[in-house]
Amino acid sequence: MDDEDLYCLGCHRTLEEIANWSSLSIIDKEALLLTLKKRPKKNLATDE
C-alpha cells in the first residue's frame, strides 16, 4: 500500500475497494475499473 494515497501499488485500489470487490455487481466493477484508469499511478522505480 502506498502510505500517502492509501492505494495498493499493484492494482491501485483502496483497501475498501479490494474488500468489496467480490460483492460488487458487474456494472459496479466496470465503473470502478473506469475510475482506476483515471487514478494517478505511482512508478516504484521513480516515485518516492
Residue whose grid cell is 470487490: 21
Per-residue confidence (pLDDT) for residue 1, from 0 to 100: 77
Per-residue confidence (pLDDT) for residue 42, from 0 to 100: 65
Residues 10 and 30: their CA atoms lie apart, in Å, by: 18
Q: Which of 9, 1, 23 is CA-nearest to residue 32?
A: 23
How many residues are listed for the chain in this entry?
Answer: 48
Contact present, 1 and 9 (Cβ < 8 Å): yes
To the question of pTM greater than 0.85 for the whole model, the response is no
Per-residue confidence (pLDDT) for residue 31, from 0 to 100: 97
Per-residue confidence (pLDDT) for residue 45, from 0 to 100: 53
Per-residue confidence (pLDDT) for residue 17, from 0 to 100: 95
Per-residue confidence (pLDDT) for residue 2, from 0 to 100: 72
Give me the residues of the chain with pLDDT under 70, please: 42-48
Residues 10 and 44: their CA atoms lie apart, in Å, by: 10
